[in-house]
Amino acid sequence: MSGTHENERGEQRSQQRRRAPKKATARYLENAALYHLDRFATSRAHLGRLLMMRVERSARAHGTDREEGRQHVEAILEKLTRNGLLDDQSYAETRARSLHRRGTSARGIRADLAAKGVALDLVERALAGLAESVSNPEIEAAIVYARKRRLGPYRSGEQRAEKRERDMAALGRKGFSYDLVRRVIDAENLEALEELIER
């Protein structure tokens, strides 16, 4: 039995060693930033927050200097921006298109990008670009969301009237205007929804 306990303690110690945060050196932080960018598109502010979390964990675990870590992070963000690896405008445009395809309203897109730390003028520029490339972005997004959730005309006939208020509330919570919600949920059929886009 004692051998079993020793093995368990040894495993716990090795897990603790694996979980211990690494020292937030300039090289480590830059490698972490590049690894993240290789896997995810992100904004400058969001990447900065992620790196500062590593700085904070390092300071608590190893006593490293937080201010020095912050300076490393700023230098890394500047370098990545200069080299074109961090571009908030490009990120905002790509993210806006992706969210729109998922059925997100303009209000929802604004909130998402603001949470990622993208400047308001870049958000508005991304939404303007979306409006130029899609004839009725808000209507299209609302229809996409209704289709995904099987709301309104996507329900079977007997359920539509019974679930109307619930469907309207679901679409309204996603940031679409009352008038648009009503037009989508009350559309007679799928062909009528298509006509909404073409108007």
- 96, HSE (Cβ side, Cα atoms, 13 Å): 27
pLDDT in tens, 142-166: 999 999 999 999 998 788 989 999 9
pLDDT of residue 123: 97
- In the chain, the N- to C-terminal Cα span, in Å, equals 77
pLDDT in tens, 58-86: 999 999 999 999 999 999 999 999 999 99
pLDDT of residue 18: 58
What pTM was estimated for this model as a whole?
A: 0.82
pLDDT in tens, 22-53: 899 999 999 999 999 999 999 999 999 999 99
